[in-house]
Amino acid sequence: MKQFLYIICLLLVTNQLAAQKQHFDLVSYTAPKGWKKEVSKEAVIFSINETKKKSWAVIKLVRSNPTEGDIDTDFLSAWTFLSATPFGIAESPVTTEIIEGGGWKIKSGSGKFRFKNADAFTTVTTMSGFGVAFSIQFNSNSEQYVPVLTAFIETMEVDEVKITIADNIPPPVKTDDPPAKSSGFTFTNTNFDDGWTSTAMEDWAEVTKGNIRVLIHYPNKEADAYQSVLKDGDLKAWNVLVSPRYSNLRNFEWKSIQSWQSISFMEGELTENSTGKNVHVVLFKMHYSNGNGRYMEFVTNSKGEYEQAFGAYHSTSYGWEVPADMQWRNKFAVSANDLIGKWGTDNYASLTYYYVNTGADAGTSTTATTNEFTFISASNYQSEHNGASGMVGNIKFSSQTYKGTFTTTNWDITMTNRFQGKPEKFSCQFEAVKGGRILVLTDRQGTVFNLGKIK
């Protein structure tokens, strides 16, 4: 089959996108026109089936995961998981040379298989760098769709992945659980319909139901510092987040799973310093590579109580939705007075192309955007959106300012005088972090703005 004309070598920054882009995990992109779209937690899939031509194709952008150490291993893991095992391909893939640029390494491989008694082919392209790896899979029975894949990859932009190496961890200090702290925000509790209640605490969002407590730990420099060995990072997190508040550890087990999307799982019996009560503790994390994965501490009276509520441990990397979804309960309503001030984020992107046949530089494009929302009062706003994009040497600039009024109903904000003078409705929520909140706005196109308080 034909190889791609070029491959991405330098990817993106931050977690905001141009309005016309869609976003999944680390990647923003422009969807192929006329193709069916399906989204799950693991992947976004585009497909087309032209019955008259008896031709079909599927593009699958898979959620990223921590790197397994090098591009060859990352690619082989992706190839085995995405193509070789599902399609029963025994032969080794035909691979391209590894291409490097901007801190990323890229490798692509392809192979043939039979689908509905007809020949088909599959290609997996894996990109590895900054402690993460992700892949794009392309399956088809016709090469006519390869240009669509090429155009799709050309539109891709990838969020910056920042790796922080922590200083040496000081010895644990035994402290009691901190009380809920007055944050200055209107809503510090959220009552969910299924009986769970979230409370914004000083170092975590605490979710409770009956005797069960789930501590959604806020980002922590020491606990979240990148480690190439999963076990090292997990034990470090246990030492930083769990150990200082307990004593008399018994029956400790580290049972994490290094995989396409790694699972951190540790459990043991402990005694709470604050109450003297014996409890069962599970420290869990789903490693979402966009940086949103959080360590969560599940505190129950017994191992059986944990398993009844969240399911028993299993050694596969899938099927963890019940405990993993607790993370999204760090969610608090928004009032108009909470918004007063300036909130913003920025984004820089650089994209370099190389010709596969020669390895020659095919040019570099860049994209930079800033988005600021200023809530002047409890009813008036102004937002500024600035951008610069294009091939180096031919950069085009854009700027847009909106002014108007707004109203909020806890989970929604409606702003007047937006694009073409029309009102626009955003879903909104706060995510609690240490010392403040992140304002999360999502527009009707699905563009997500994660905004920090500037002033």
Can you give the length of the chain in residues? Answer: 455
DSSP state, residue 165: P
**32-55 pLDDT per residue, tens:** 999 999 988 788 999 999 888 889
Cα dihedral: 8, 10, 13, 16 (round 10):
-20
**Nearest to 374, CA basis, from 341, 412, 407:** 341
Q: d(Cα 102, Cα 104) in Å, to the nearest integer?
A: 6
Determine the pLDDT at residue 181: 43
The pLDDT score that the predictor gives to residue 316 is 87
Strand (E) or helix (H) holding 153: helix 146-155
Return all residues near 214 (Cβ < 8 A) that are at least 6 apart: 206, 207, 208, 296, 297, 298, 299, 326, 329
The predicted-structure confidence for 134-189, as pLDDT tens digits, reads as follows 899 999 999 899 889 888 887 888 776 544 333 333 333 333 344 444 468 999 99
Please give the pLDDT value at position 102.
Answer: 66
User: What residue has token string 């644990």?
Assistant: 172
Position 276 confidence tier, pLDDT thresholds 50, 70, 90: very high
Let me know: does 246 contact 306? Beta carbons within 8 Å: no
Question: Is residue 195's pLDDT more than 70?
Answer: yes
Q: What pLDDT is stored for residue 312 in this prediction?
A: 95
CA–CA separation, 362 vs 346, rounded Å?
A: 27
88 secondary structure, DSSP code: T
Cβ distance 319 to 356 under 8 Å?
no
- The share of the chain scoring above pLDDT 70, in percent, equals 82
Q: Give the span between the Cα atoms of 262 and 267, in whole angstroms.
A: 17
71-83: average pLDDT: 88
Per-residue pLDDT of 241-259, as tens digits, reads 999 999 999 999 999 998 8
Rounded to an integer, the average pLDDT of 362-382 is: 79
Instruction: Give all domains of the chain, ordered by start, each with its CATH number.
Output: 6-158 (3.40.1000.10), 189-328 (3.40.1000), 340-453 (2.40.128)
pLDDT at position 450 is 86
As beta bridge partners, residue 448 has 442
Cβ–Cβ under 8 Å, residues 341 and 328:
no
Share of the chain above pLDDT 90, in %: 48
Average pLDDT of the chain to the nearest whole number:
82
